Structure 1
């Protein structure tokens, strides 16, 4: 019989997703839970498994198509005898059970990565739905056997967040994909390297990061085998603009920023400080036996200073709950770190960052940064942040007025560190100077509270020993 798989709710009430790539084609035989498509939501990509074992008969949507939850995406022909078709009861509607049908005990269904697999075959008269006609990826309707009746599948929300990740993997079917690991495929996608042209030097021919980077040093080859250094296509003569659809992360980010900017009254305060003592501390930690092999940078120290300052200024770690008419006070710090990725701006967070020591916090930051670069940031890590940091200094920026991550009361922008003349012990000396910018929601944080919080962070960075007077 023919069974239709509809786009499931992939979590958090998202109403639409984009078909990034199909991993199967009509006529392919698939197993239960075999990955059949990459589907991109506003936050991440879900690797969609098959709820059936059978043969793909029709792809209802093309790659790049935005599909709403409940719309058909793929049809399967599955093994099993065709049950007898019941007569529709008078006045009945498609999908209603026959009133005369005997009640049957519910049978447990085996959960798959998304939704549930096909229910076990039952005796008796089945439930039916009206079938709506739709075109396959090529624009033509698939021809189902005359005796087959399509059965819709309405999976539930994602059963596990383990399948959610940022869209960076190639779209070719798993069987045809060159042997590599997800981080390597992510790196190749970001660098624009086609893995199918590489020969792996790793164990059993596995393609490694070094293979991908080495490919960049080689001249590119045209399809006919000749080498070419031609750049990417540019707009044609007279073309004054290029348009592209607003989708996925960019669409979600834009909506979130507009909602934040026009909902929370933003105020930004600035503080410029001499962080030479912090830079000396970082240099000293490099030779400290307890920190050998660890990469302690300025961002880790700022993050730790922020967590300590939150304990003294809890109003910055709150949320305005408009629906409940309440102010939510967080007693933990889920520290968001704004990350620029090829797909757009993401703000994954470090859970319970306030409970981590400097070394563990630095390790968590390194892991978060690597995941963002590799495109393996999970959707779970994008939820539940309580306060955020954005490091604009890595782009050579001194200061800014960051927009709050929706649902948070404050965000700290860390500016670049510059050597410049500064007053020191009554004289002028070249010092490491940095500007901090704190934006906060004025409904939750008064100017004085924001200033005290910012000064506490600055005090720690200007003289790390002062932390002894603050805890």
Structure 2
């Protein structure tokens, strides 16, 4: 083997971004020695050497995108050269925006491939862009068939002079942007909002686990919202298991690990499982399969906000959270507030939990959504 190419990473993933090289040209490596760390749609993957030998060349720099079957390294003393020629080419993350096949929180059956066309640009225009310090990614060509023109480059330079260079999205944020675009284009979303009176809750209640159990209860009362919908075939699949995708906010972007079999697990087991998932997300060791196959999603955004010195700050009451196909519903939970309520014709101060339920109106009626939300509130208030 002369060229070692990026192997199949599984889960339908077609590309990865180079995070760190662990070797340099001229290094002698052993079998299974770590060569490079790459980032897929959601996970950091360590790629080992398939053979012993001396590295003559490393393809791609940190931040570059590499696709399955494209070369990673070249060995200069390989005994068996079975590669023939280099397959494909390395594309910089700064010069491409091809789509990932991994959709945040999606079921395996919904993985999609939507390759975007590369910028149409002549060598002269590319040289002009280089001379003016203009990056070609993000430029929409105004010439024939979308070709980038000199005027496009000059306009981009003027924007850079006024506003500074744009920064391409990478890794998780890039995947999130694509997933949200798909969600916006494909789903007919409607949102219902209401509040649950949680005055009876202990002061240190596990809000997220309480919400998960309430969602599982509501899914039994109204199964249509715990389902996958195929918009092309106009068919839906009602699911008897409740696997909740829980949105986790990180500096790198949004992760949605899946907490499975909610209806069959006790609170302590769910908390342990959720803590483990969040730790894996924080360390970027969570495998892609742990972020696929959710049947419904929870965004507990009311717990995200902190003020100075870790003082809680309430920010965010209601929302219209995005539904990622093939799922048909997502629950948003805002910050708990003390509010005036009327109980037995008297005004009292109670803690209230604001809730937002977004649902896909293509396959869910308003009545079904209202009954689901009512069952969710009833369980939280029980």
Displacement after TM superposition at 1:128 (Å):
6.4
Which of 159, 173, 183 is the matching residue for 1:260?
A: 183
Q: Give the equivalent residue in structure 1 for 2:196.
A: 273
Q: Give the equivalent residue in structure 1 for 2:72.
A: 73
Q: Give the equivalent residue in structure 2 for 1:5.
A: 4
- Map 1:452-463 onto structure 2 (within 5 A): 452-462=371-381
Q: Give the equivalent residue in structure 1 for 2:331.
A: 412
Displacement after TM superposition at 1:425 (Å):
2.9
Rounded to whole Å, the distance in 2 between the matches of 1:30 and 1:446 is: 60
Displacement after TM superposition at 1:371 (Å):
2.7
Rounded to whole Å, the distance in 2 between the matches of 1:375 and 1:347 is: 12
Displacement after TM superposition at 1:239 (Å):
6.0
Q: Give the equivalent residue in structure 2 for 1:441.
A: 360
Displacement after TM superposition at 1:445 (Å):
1.4
Which of 179, 196, 208 is the matching residue for 1:299?
A: 208
Displacement after TM superposition at 1:131 (Å):
5.4
Displacement after TM superposition at 1:32 (Å):
1.2
Which of 342, 358, 363 is the matching residue for 1:423?
A: 342
Describe the superposition over 1:42-63 as per-residue Cα deviations: whole angstroms up to 9, x where unpaired.
Answer: 2222111111111111112111
Which of 227, 231, 236 is the matching residue for 1:318?
A: 227
Contact 2:173 2:252 in 1 (8 A): yes
**TM-score under structure 2 normalisation?**
0.74
Describe the superposition over 1:329-363 as per-residue Cα deviations: whole angstroms up to 9, x where unpaired.
Answer: 11101111001112211111012122112222222
Aligned length: 304
Displacement after TM superposition at 1:379 (Å):
1.4
Tell me, yes or no, if structure 1 residue 393 matches structure 2 residue 312: no
Rounded to whole Å, the distance in 2 between the matches of 1:132 and 1:266 is: 42
Rounded to whole Å, the distance in 1 between the matches of 2:376 and 2:87 is: 60
What SS does the corresponding residue of 2:2 show, helix, strand or coil?
strand
Q: Give the equivalent residue in structure 1 for 2:59.
A: 60
Displacement after TM superposition at 1:310 (Å):
0.6
Which consecutive unaligned segments of at least 5 residues does structure 1 have?
83-125, 138-237, 284-295, 465-471
Q: Give the equivalent residue in structure 2 for 1:129.
A: 84
Change (3 A) 1:447 1:245: same
What SS does the corresponding residue of 2:299 show, helix, strand or coil?
strand
Rounded to whole Å, the distance in 2 between the matches of 1:242 and 1:391 is: 34
Displacement after TM superposition at 1:364 (Å):
2.0
Change (3 A) 1:258 1:314: same
- Which structure: larger Rg? 1
Describe the superposition over 1:414-440 as per-residue Cα deviations: whole angstroms up to 9, x where unpaired.
Answer: 010011211123211111012100001
Describe the superposition over 1:52-105 as per-residue Cα deviations: whole angstroms up to 9, x where unpaired.
Answer: 11111111211111122222120124464x7xxxxxxxxxxxxxxxxxxxxxxx
Tell me, yes or no, if structure 1 residue 367 matches structure 2 residue 366: no
Change (3 A) 1:133 1:276: closer
Contact 1:316 1:444 in 2 (8 A): no
Which consecutive unaligned segments of at least 5 residues does structure 2 have?
93-160, 306-314
What SS does the corresponding residue of 1:250 show, helix, strand or coil?
helix
Rounded to whole Å, the distance in 2 between the matches of 1:131 and 1:36 is: 19
Contact 2:16 2:65 in 1 (8 A): yes
Runs of 4+ in structure 1 over 6 Å off: 132-135
Q: Give the equivalent residue in structure 1 for 2:118.
A: none
Displacement after TM superposition at 1:241 (Å):
3.0
Rounded to whole Å, the distance in 1 between the matches of 2:241 and 2:77 is: 50
Q: Give the equivalent residue in structure 2 for 1:21.
A: 20
What SS does the corresponding residue of 2:241 show, helix, strand or coil?
coil
Change (3 A) 1:416 1:131: closer
Rounded to whole Å, the distance in 2 between the matches of 1:15 and 1:366 is: 30
Q: Give the equivalent residue in structure 1 for 2:29.
A: 30
Rounded to whole Å, the distance in 2 between the matches of 1:440 and 1:133 is: 42
Contact 2:2 2:78 in 1 (8 A): no
Higher relative contact order (CA 8 A, sep 6+): 2
What SS does the corresponding residue of 2:163 show, helix, strand or coil?
coil
What SS does the corresponding residue of 1:276 show, helix, strand or coil?
coil
Change (3 A) 1:134 1:298: closer
Rounded to whole Å, the distance in 1 between the matches of 2:327 and 2:375 is: 20
Rounded to whole Å, the distance in 1 between the matches of 2:51 and 2:165 is: 42
Change (3 A) 1:131 1:70: closer
Rounded to whole Å, the distance in 2 between the matches of 1:452 and 1:264 is: 21
Rounded to whole Å, the distance in 1 between the matches of 2:236 and 2:87 is: 47
Contact 1:307 1:353 in 2 (8 A): yes
